[in-house]
């Protein structure tokens, strides 16, 4: 069964978009995943086919109607009852590699893309929907977020990237950033590839990479480092305390 992506959006033409190229595009052509954009406007009930209305309490912009959105979600659920429904919103839980990995191991995802000022909050009370943010910045719509989430999932699907994608070394997989990478030429403007990487000594290379991953994470991402240290100190086995 292909990984089934349903995207509820006002701009279905945006899909598969960049996911039609490169690795994801090949995987799509090979049937590893399925891309089904759904036009939210098809679920509008008035003659103007409106999907939004002015914010209760006043203020700028428009809010997506919960009745129209719920009808679109119900339609998507009928097509893929086992896929989790995610909504793109800056108010959601930040997307993590752990969550991506869990999603990629499942049957697929249904993603709700917001526009304007976002969704009527009652949608999240009336339907089981996971609110997801892709970062602490504001986009004009959820479509880019959906593309990001799907790209992160698709590269993990079996056969898409080969062995490389499942490496434990990759950034975030171990709660750390990946070590820095180098390739030829060995001498570029007088800057050499670190000697250890050319030593052929696999144990030394692994130790160097581990120490670089640790020090770069500590310097670049104090937030990740703190979590890593907490997990290490907090659990005798060194296992991570937090999942997803
Ligand atoms: N007024 C809202 C922002 C709306 S932006 C607020 O301040 O929270 C319009 C749409 O873009 C959102 O509904 C959402 O679907 C998408 N979006 C914007 N930023 C996002 C982010 N960081 N993560 C996920 N989706 C985002």
CATH 2.102.10.10 holds for 169-244: no
pLDDT in tens, 171-200: 998 899 999 999 999 999 999 999 999 999
Average pLDDT for residues 55-66, to the nearest whole number?
A: 98
Report the separation in Å between the CA atom of 33 and the middle of ligand 1, taken as the mean of its atom positions: 26
Q: Is 236 helix (H, G, I), strand (E, B) or coil?
A: coil
Question: What atom in ligand 1 is closest to the CA of residue 118?
Answer: 13
Check whether 24 has a pLDDT greater than 90.
yes
pLDDT > 90: what percent of the chain?
90
| pLDDT, tens digit, 9 for 90 and up, residues 26-57 | 999 999 999 999 999 999 999 999 999 999 99
Phi-psi region of 159 (alpha: psi -120 to 50; beta: other; left: phi over 0): left
Read out DSSP for 194-244? Answer: PGGGGS--HHHHHHHHHHHHHHHHHHH-HHHHHHHHHHHHH-TT---S---
pTM here is 0.94
Whether the predicted pLDDT of 143 surpasses 90: yes
| Cα 142 to ligand 1 centroid, rounded to whole Å | 6
Residue 54 CB partners (closer than 8 Å, separation 6+): 62, 63
Distance of CA 56 from the midpoint of ligand 1 (Å):
18
For the chain, residues classed under CATH 1.10.1270.20 are 169-244
Q: Which pLDDT score is estimated for 88?
A: 98
On the question of pLDDT at 162 being above 90, the answer is no
Domain with CATH 3.40.1280.10 in the chain: 3-154
3-154 CATH, one of 3.40.50.880, 1.10.1760.20, 3.40.1280.10, 3.30.720.110: 3.40.1280.10
């Amino acid at each position: 069964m292909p990984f089934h992506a349903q995207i509820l959006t006002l701009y279905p033409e945006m899909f598969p978009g960049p996911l039609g190229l490169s690795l994801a595009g090949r995987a799509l052509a090979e049937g590893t995943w399925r891309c089904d954009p759904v036009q939210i406007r098809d679920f509008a009930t008035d003659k103007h086919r409106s999907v939004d209305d002015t914010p209760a309490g006043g203020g700028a912009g428009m809010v997506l109607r919960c009745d129209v959105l719920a009808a679109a979600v119900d339609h998507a659920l009928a097509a893929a009852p086992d896929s989790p429904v995610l909504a793109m919103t800056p108010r959601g839980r930040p997307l993590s590699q752990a969550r991506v990995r869990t999603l990629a191991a499942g049957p697929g995802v249904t993603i709700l893309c917001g526009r304007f000022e976002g969704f009527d909050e009652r949608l999240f009370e009336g339907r089981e929907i996971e609110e997801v943010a892709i970062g602490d910045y504001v986009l004009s719509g959820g479509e880019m977020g959906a593309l990001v989430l799907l790209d992160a999932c698709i590269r993990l699907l079996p056969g898409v990237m080969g062995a490389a994608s499942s490496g434990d070394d990759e950034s975030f997989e171990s709660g750390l950033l990946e070590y820095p990478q180098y390739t030829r030429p060995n001498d570029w403007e007088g800057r050499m590839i670190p000697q250890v990487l050319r030593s052929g000594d696999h144990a030394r290379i692994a130790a160097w990479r581990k120490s670089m991953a640790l020090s770069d994470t500590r310097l670049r991402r104090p937030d990740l480092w703190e979590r890593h240290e907490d997990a290490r100190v907090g659990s005798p086995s060194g296992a991570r305390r937090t999942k997803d």
